[in-house]
Amino acid sequence: MDCYSAALRILSFRFNSVAELQRKLRAKKFDDAEIAETLERLRAEKWLDDERFADSYVRTRTAKKIGRVRILRELSTAGVSSEAASRAVAENVDPEREREELAALCQRKLEALRRRRGEEYAASDEGRAKLMAQLARSGFETSAVIRAVDEALRG
């Protein structure tokens, strides 16, 4: 199989960033010149576009209730430029919806914590820290997490 066909096969499963596709083609032992030629051809044919990849990725991850901080980190790991990633997040993440999702997630996690460890633990500094860490790992901004936890514990 030639490099171009292998790349199209990879892209048939899902969008990939340029860096991801390059890494996957290298793993298949294609030489750098052949990979560069293939990537250029795919860009020209509009099969490969980091901005379109970032937009799609952000929409998919926000639908799974992942916060903007984690999405930006994941896009960076995928090789998308910070400018393209920031633009995709700005265009595809509604801050009000993100706050609502964070509040709902916080409430669910708090209820689970109360069921497992009791009301006293959930209200303790240790319980609060555990809840905040869970929400931060989901990719929400620290200041938003603190507000959401404070509101959930008050309510």
Q: How far apart are CA 69 and CA 2, in angstroms?
A: 38
Please give the CATH architecture assigned to the domain spanning 49-93.
Orthogonal Bundle (1.10)
- Are 59 and 96 a contacting pair, CB within 8 Å? no
The pLDDT value recorded for residue 49 is: 95
Q: What is the mean pLDDT of residues 128-150?
A: 96
The pLDDT value recorded for residue 1 is: 78
pLDDT in tens, 62-109: 999 999 999 999 999 999 999 999 999 999 999 999 999 999 999 999
1-48: which CATH number, 2.102.10.10, 3.30.390.50, 3.30.465.10, 1.10.10.10? 1.10.10.10
The pLDDT value recorded for residue 37 is: 97
Find the length of the chain: 155
Question: Per the structure block, which two tokens stand in for 122?
Answer: 């959930």
